[in-house]
Amino acid sequence: MTIDFDKVLKEQKFPQWNQTPQEVLQLANELAAKERNLFDTIASVEDPTVENVLNPFTTFFNEADFPRNQISFYQHVSTDKALRDASTQAEQILDQSSIEQWSRADVYSVLKSLKEKNPDLDPESERYLNKTVLEFERNGLALPEEKRERVKKLQVELSDLKVKFNKNLGEDTGCVLFSKTELEGVPEVIVKQYEEVEKDGETKLKVTFKYPDIIPLFQHASNGETRKTANIAFGNRCPENEALLTEIIKLRFQIAKELGYDTFADFALEVKMAKTKDTVLTFLNDLRAKLTPVAESELQVLKELKLKDLKSRNLHSEGDFYSWDFGYYNERLLEEKYQVDSLKISEYFPLQSTIKKMLGFYETIMDVKFVKLDPKPTEVWHEDVEMYAVFKNIKFGTLEYVGVIYFDLHPREGKYGHAANFGIGPGYLNFDGTRKNPETILVCNFTKPTKARPSLLKHSEVVTFFHELGHGIHNMLSQTKYAKFHGTNVERDFVEAPSQMLEYWVWSKNELKSLSSHYETGEPISDDLIDQLIKTKHVNTGLSNLRQLFFGLFDMSVHTIDSQDKIEKLDLFSTWNTLRREVTLLPDGNNPTKGYCAFGHIAGGYESGYYGYLYSLVFAADIYYSLFKSDPMNTENGIRYRDIILKRGGTREIMDNLVEVLGRKPTSEAFLAEIFGEKSHL
């Protein structure tokens, strides 16, 4: 069967990305005014019905999501500082408007009255109404007026601080300067990408804090002092965020207390899968107890490797193994014991070839098709951006256009510095039965291609790409009635599971081989190299996961403060450094840092939720082991997973979906077997 994708695409109208700073601010004010008008209208309703309250309410929030997200997104990717600033200001305008409107007792009263009438609704609409009323109540609407006003005031302050924190982080231009000699061991291909600058009459190389610059230094610089200097500088970036984060955490405490909760964690976890702080802390502490002995054994191996290395170079033993040593000696361990050279392996994963093959995996597993587009200049925000249309149900001949996904993959000044998926335009069902298709964006920071060679992905970057694409696919393949439940709009401590599950494909031999293609010869990676690489999956799993545990425990520590006296004594510096030393097992040589100043997750999105990265691994492992481990490219199971987990988004309780797709309640058996590798049965 021949499918005419072009014919379908000609019918599509793609978003425009050519707004000026003035237009961004104008649109923000227009959206705020429309929201205010909607709430005024609903507040005036005396006899609430689905037709005069719920339908206009859902329609507005369906239609407002894309423009709202688009104008807020420019701050993360635009090369124009004026546009980034306008985007930040627009987000503040929209946030303050939402806080104002979602604090209105008159609107809450109407929606609550409608809920109490128990109207005849389909399950998703009933869930929408219930969640909306709950959202008002979590904003304090069930409280006396005086308390409501205090909560609203605190939320406005909190919103402004979060925006400022993320703006500082996104626009960070920090760097550290080294001579070429100090960068001994860093591969020449990496050194060449560092900018030369003059400092005190000497030529230095500028190592920015962007991942393609700083990570290779940690992995390859043989000079311990260089790694130490870079580690301390990297750990102290964005110092202006310290006061902001301190105030953010104090405001959260006050909001939680006003709402009647013991701690902010109690408030935040109420709507997550874990439900209580005791569940989270028990999970983290049990995992820490299991991981610590494993990590101690791993650390001993690394200490011996460091001792041997320093002795071979006639350098004095330092007597300890520091936090800035891990990346370097982990890399040496992979090279010496497993013959795995990350740069050599990267030659088999040129970016464009890998993208094509990667998308092919998703096409097979989930019966979808990606068609690369040639966007007009106004249809992307930067010339580097790639754009793909997505279709599904190819195999069954019922072709369905799904939406569009964008890839923005290389670092530049002012751009978001990590890897993330932005679900910019959720899909939803229009009242006429037509569907608004979603738009989603992958923002990453992979090395730019040069004239001499293409962008090459280290295996860890292939894992990262697969992970973020997992979020993108979740947003693409979701089909919900309302934008509110679309795609990744699920419980926060499950949201990572679909992406984590898909990471397994890049540790599977046959799949890894078919994904590879040497950038010069086109040859796939050798069986020997794949076998050695796969053996490294659980190398230093104890130490790596203790680092994740540290982030989760720090997050819970500052958000489980339960008294005014304790919150007034909040000391992020002490809490961060004490926990880091105790949990990670890696000393800092009395060089404490302020890494929390760059902990973007805790500033907004994963507060009292960072544990979710580990918690969701339980579900990811169970799904993979149950549906895919024996046959990773099984289309039948892929479609089953697609239509039960991804398609439904947040329209049902996630646990119900898990029980349906697994045929039972999830267990931690696969997770424990996976996270500890061969050590799991000890």
Q: What is the mean pLDDT of residues 134-148?
A: 95
**pLDDT tier for residue 335 given thresholds of 50, 70 and 90:** very high
Would you give the DSSP letter of residue 282? H
Task: With respect to residue 81, please indicate whether it lies within any of the assigned structural domains.
Answer: no
Q: Is residue 410 part of a domain?
A: yes
Q: How far is CA 679 from CA 1, 277, 339, in A?
A: 50, 29, 22
Give the number of domains in the chain: 2
| pLDDT greater than 80 at residue 62 | yes
What is the rounded average pLDDT of the residues 260-266?
A: 98
Q: 39 to each of 60, 69, 102, 259, how far by Cα in Å? A: 10, 20, 9, 23
- Phi, psi values for residue 526, rounded to 5°: -70, 155
- Residue 613's nearest CA partner among 550, 662, 660, 670 is 550
Confidence of residue 3 (pLDDT cuts 50, 70, 90): low
Give residue 481's pLDDT.
98
Q: In terms of C-beta distances under 8 Å and separation of at least 24 residues, what long-range contacts does 457-460 make, across chains too?
A: 457/346, 457/349, 457/350, 457/351, 457/354, 458/342, 458/343, 458/345, 458/346, 458/349, 459/342, 459/345, 459/346, 459/349, 459/506, 459/533, 460/342
- What are the pLDDT digits (tens) for 145-159? 999 999 999 999 999
User: Per DSSP, what are the bridge partners of residue 405?
Assistant: 388, 440
Question: Which helix (H) or strand (E) segment is 442 a member of?
Answer: strand 439-443
Give the residue numbers spanning the domain of 497: 351-538+613-681
Query: Residue 547: which pLDDT band, with cuts at 50, 70 and 90?
Result: very high
**How many other CB atoms are there within 10 angstroms of residue 180's CB atom?**
13
| Domain C-terminal end among 184, 215, 235 | 235
Given the structure tokens 């805790």, which residue do they identify?
602
- Give yes or no for a contact between 474 and 487, defined as CB atoms under 8 angstroms apart: yes
For the cut 80, the answer to whether the pLDDT of residue 49 exceeds it is yes
Can you spell out the DSSP letters for 65-98? HHHHHHHHHHHHH-S-HHHHHHHHHHHHHHHHHH
pLDDT at 677 over 80: no
- Which residues belong to the active site? 468
* pLDDT at 399 (0 to 100): 85
Backbone angles phi, psi at 177, to 5 degrees: -105, 135
Q: How far is CA 211 from CA 218, 416, 445, in A?
A: 10, 11, 7
Identify the band that residue 531 occupies on the pLDDT scale cut at 50, 70 and 90: very high
Residue 372 falls within a domain, yes or no? yes
pLDDT-above-70 percentage for the chain: 99
Written as six digits, the tokens of 512 are: 């890894």
Residue 588, in any domain of the structure: no
Domain end point (choices 213, 235, 257): 235
Stated pTM of the model: 0.93
**pLDDT per residue as tens digits for the range 349-379:** 999 999 999 999 999 999 999 999 999 999 9
Distance set, CA 636 to CA 331, 498, 627, 631, 633 (Å): 39, 17, 10, 11, 9
Residue 160, domain member (yes or no): no
> What pLDDT score was predicted for residue 562?
97
* 228-245: pLDDT as tens digits: 999 999 999 999 999 999
pLDDT at 503: 95
pLDDT at 2 over 80: no
pLDDT in tens, 624-663: 999 999 999 999 999 999 999 999 999 999 999 999 999 9
Domain boundary among 235, 258, 283: 235
Six token digits for residue 188: 């020449």
Residue (of 159, 285, 249) closest to 549 by Cα position: 285
User: Which CATH number goes with the domain that contains 652?
Assistant: 1.10.1370.40
Helix axes 326-336, 277-312, angle to 10 degrees: 70
Q: Where are the beta strands (DSSP E) in 48-165?
A: none
DSSP string, 293-341: HHHHHHHHHHHHHHHHHHHHTT----SS--GGGHHHHHHHHHHHTT---
Determine, yes or no, domain membership for 106.
no
Residue 549, both tokens: 């545990």
What does DSSP assign to residue 644?
I
Contact (CB, 8 A) for 174 and 271: no
d(CA 405, CA 415): 19
CA dist list (Å): 583 to 299, 481, 541, 549: 13, 44, 14, 7
pLDDT in tens, 157-178: 999 999 999 999 989 999 999 9
In sequence order, the β-bridge partners of residue 544 are: none
Contact by Cβ (8 Å): 372, 388: yes
**Number of residues assigned to the chain:** 682
Per-residue pLDDT for 102 more than 80?
yes
**pLDDT for 282:** 97
Could you give phi then psi for residue 424, rounded to 5 degrees? -70, -35
Between 94 and 395, the higher pLDDT residue = 94
How far is it, in rounded angstroms, from Cα 545 to Cα 548? 5
pLDDT tens-digit profile of 269-299?
999 999 999 999 999 999 999 999 999 999 9
Beta strands at 195-199 and 420-425: parallel, antiparallel or unpaired: unpaired
Q: Walk across the sheet containing 202-208 and list its strands.
A: 175-178, 202-208, 195-199
Mean pLDDT, all residues of the chain: 95
* Per-residue pLDDT at 442 exceeds 80: yes
Collect all residues with Cβ–Cβ distance below 8 Å to 308 and sequence separation of at least 6.
none
Structural domain contains residue 511: yes
